[in-house]
Amino acid sequence: MAEIKMPALGADMVEATLLEWHVGVGDVVHRGDIIATVDTAKSALEVEALQEGRIEALLINPGTTVSVGTVIATMADSVPEVPTVTPSTSGRPASSPLARRRAAELGIDLADVQPSRPGGFIGVQDVEQSRLAAPAVLPKASEQPAAVIPATEGLREVIASLMARSKREIPHYYLQSTVDIEATLARLEQRNASLPIGERILPAALFLWAIARAARSVPEVNGRFDHGFRPAAEVHLGLAVALREGGVIAPAIRDADRLDLPSMMAQMTDLVRRARAGRLRASEMTDSTITATLLGDQGAEVVHGVIYPPQVALVGVGCIVRRPWAVDGMLGIRRVVAVTLAADHRVTDGHRGSQFLQAIALALDEGVDA
């Protein structure tokens, strides 16, 4: 609501008498319209409307004398001076460039976002609000998984439910294979020696490459179980990432079997960074066809993991250790790593599982040149 005050129509004017109103209650006035005539000490002068609006109330009667600054009428629906953004004519919701960028990062459709800004367009805060409002939905056994990004607060609950369900429903069996990777690592170190630091390949990337490759050759470990096993046409390799605030998420590296080693390294690094920053896409959270969990240098030697439903296998890679080893019939010290498979016994058995682990071991050596 806007107040119309008795204006100072001359530098020395202190009061005036209202002679007549030129508008009535309910009239719409525009800037510059004459709304009243007032009598000052010197002469009769006209009062103009300074804003657009609808007259709500006339507060004094003709014949009344008031000082300059007294509220003489009120107006409703005054239009703000600052221009509002014209609504988009292309059919897309009006939004700021930053909001569009953020929505794309989060996989949020702008049509689902409520604009709250005075300009009537979607700002980045509106996108963030929309993301927090999306609840974390647990996929039921009989449903295809929904596209969700678990909110950090509910992450523990989500993991808990998922792991409990996995242990409840999936008959796990476990295989372990300890692989001598001394020669492989030596060749990797040689490859890295000629590369700038920013391009060097970590052993983790090599493990992922080998797992993705092996999943191609043993398709029974790659896919989803939903009233029977459905093998996947692609290998989207989930990578378990520990979050700083606690909890684990396992976003997917899509088409992992098609990547060369440098690409695998780049994607792995990018995914971990975005996972820890909370900037994953919805598709990355739901697309995995098989998952790997790499414990890294600080981890245990062997991991016996829990399969992420509805997948049918989880590959574990422990920390690389130096162990006494049989080398050419003599005792030597080699760097070895324990590669484990937790698999769904409804789909594979020890024989097939072993073939998968063997395929990984072979692919490790192949991968150094990829």
Partner 1 sequence: MAETMTYREAMRAAIREALQRDECIFLMGEDVGRYGGAFGVSLGLLEEFGPERIRDTPLSEAGFVGAGIGAALAGMRPIVEIMTVNFSLLALDQILNTAATLLHMSGGQFNVPVVIRMTTGGGRQLAAQHSHSLEAYYAHIPGLRVLAPATVEDARTMLWPALLDPDPVIIFEHGSLYNLSAELAPPEEETSLERAIVRRPGTDLTIVTQGGSLPVSLEASERLAREGISAEVIDLRSLRPLDDEAIATSVRRTHRAVVVDEGWRTLGLTAEIAARIAESCFTDLDAPVLRVASVEVPFPYPRHLEQAAMPSLERIIGAAKEVVGQHG
Give the footprint of partner 1 on this chain (CB under 8 A).
8, 11, 82, 85, 96-99, 101, 116-119, 123-125
Q: Which amino acid is at 278?
A: G
By C-beta, is 98 or 327 nearer to partner 1?
98
CA–CA separation, 313 and 286 (whole Å): 15
CA–CA separation, 182 and 323 (whole Å): 11
Q: What is the DSSP string of 213-237?
A: HHHHHSGGGSEEESSSEEE-SS--E
Instruction: Give me the least distance between CB of 126 and partner 1, in Å please.
Output: 8
Instruction: Give me the least distance between CB of 81 and partner 1, in Å please.
Output: 8
> Exposure string (b/e) for 255-278, b if CB count within 10 Å is 16 or more?
ebbebebeebbebbeebeebbeee
Instruction: Give me the least distance between CB of 294 and partner 1, in Å please.
Output: 35
Instruction: Give me the least distance between CB of 27 and partner 1, in Å please.
Output: 25
By C-beta, is 85 or 155 nearer to partner 1?
85
By C-beta, is 101 or 140 nearer to partner 1?
101
By C-beta, is 85 or 134 nearer to partner 1?
85
By C-beta, is 127 or 342 nearer to partner 1?
127
Helix (H, G, I), strand (E, B) or coil at 78: coil
Q: Which H/E stretch holds residue 122? A: none
Instruction: Give me the least distance between CB of 62 and partner 1, in Å please.
Output: 27
Instruction: Give me the least distance between CB of 151 and partner 1, in Å please.
Output: 23
In sequence order, the 6+-apart residues with CB closer than 8 A to the CB of 133 are: none
**340 neighbors 305 (Cβ within 8 angstroms):** yes
Cα maximum dimension of the chain:
120
Of 176, 204, 177, 218, nearest to 367 by C-alpha is 204
By C-beta, is 117 or 187 nearer to partner 1?
117
